Chains A and B, each alone.
Chain A
């Protein structure tokens, strides 16, 4: 059997090469929006976050937000470079934000428990501030870290 003619062979689309700078802008804007909302609504915004944590859906909302943001950044990079998203990277982006938010929620629980256990004045306000800080850090980590992991894996693959 003869080899297919070059004209009939399907052109291979290049794989997406993720640059950290793509994700950096999204995380920076997310961070700025969080900061501005915190400055202009210093009481109501933290209250919404603490109430959703007490009702148990803060982590789910954070997972949803970070998954959507990660997907948008990655698909935008793929579209701009006219490249094909590899399955491994897609799976990595689908699972890492959930793992990061899930893991950091344990850290938040631990910080809250420790704050309550210490005999400090104004405990409730301290707990609220800890929850606010962990929510922010969780959001930023869950968008930034998956791209950092992918970037380092790409570097490792390139040097191999």
Chain B
């Protein structure tokens, strides 16, 4: 069993979550700021949903290049696209609420984007595991 999928998802976690957080900490350090932003503060407007959307696009791209039957590819791609859209929608809703002055609860935004990003990451991981297995079967 290869762990290519683990490297794949690790790359997105590092580039999408850890690098922005480390950059924010480094910026605060360079400017002598006492503020040490935590991931929750950094992604409080639902930006995690946008990271989820990027993961979904990559997983759909990998699906389209696989040798699964078109029914399987279509089902997985539509499901991933719906989840990614709903994750990205948290950021859009928060932006619209803030722009129009409508009531906006940051705790709810953080919870929604975190949960939906977790969903997108976990489904994308399993899809990558299935793709990995199928690639081995097709190569035999």
Contact = CB atoms under 8 A, between A and B. Distances in A.
Given A110-B71, A122-B140, A148-B82, A35 B119 contact: no
A21 interface: yes
Contact of B116 (A24, A108, A130): A24
B55 interface: no
A107 B138 CA distance: 21
A28 B112 contact: no
Nearest to A141: B79
A35 B137 contact: no
A144 B130 contact: no
A133 interface: yes
Contacts of B83: 144
A64 B27 CA distance: 52
Contacts of B138: 122, 126
B12 interface: no
Give the dominant DSSP class at B's interface.
helix
A125 B118 contact: no
Give the dominant DSSP class at A's interface.
helix
- Of the candidates B112, B126, B138, the one having the most CB atoms from chain A within 10 angstroms of its own CB is B126
A61 interface: no
B81 to A, nearest CB: 12
B99 interface: no
A45 to B, nearest CB: 11
A140 B114 CA distance: 18
A24 B72 contact: no
Interface in A88-136: 104, 107-108, 110-111, 114-115, 121-122, 125-126, 129-130, 132-134, 136
Contacts of B119: 24-25, 27-28, 31, 144
Interface string B24-37: 00000000000000
Given A21-B112, A27-B123, A39-B1, A122 B71 contact: no
A134 B111 CA distance: 30
Nearest to B126: A35
Contacts of A22: 115
A133 B71 CA distance: 11
Interface of A: 19-22, 24-25, 27-29, 31-32, 34-35, 38-39, 42, 104, 107-108, 110-111, 114-115, 121-122, 125-126, 129-130, 132-134, 136-137, 140-141, 144, 148
10 contacts: A21-B111, A25-B115, A28-B118, A28-B119, A35-B129, A111-B72, A121-B140, A129-B130, A141-B75, A144-B79
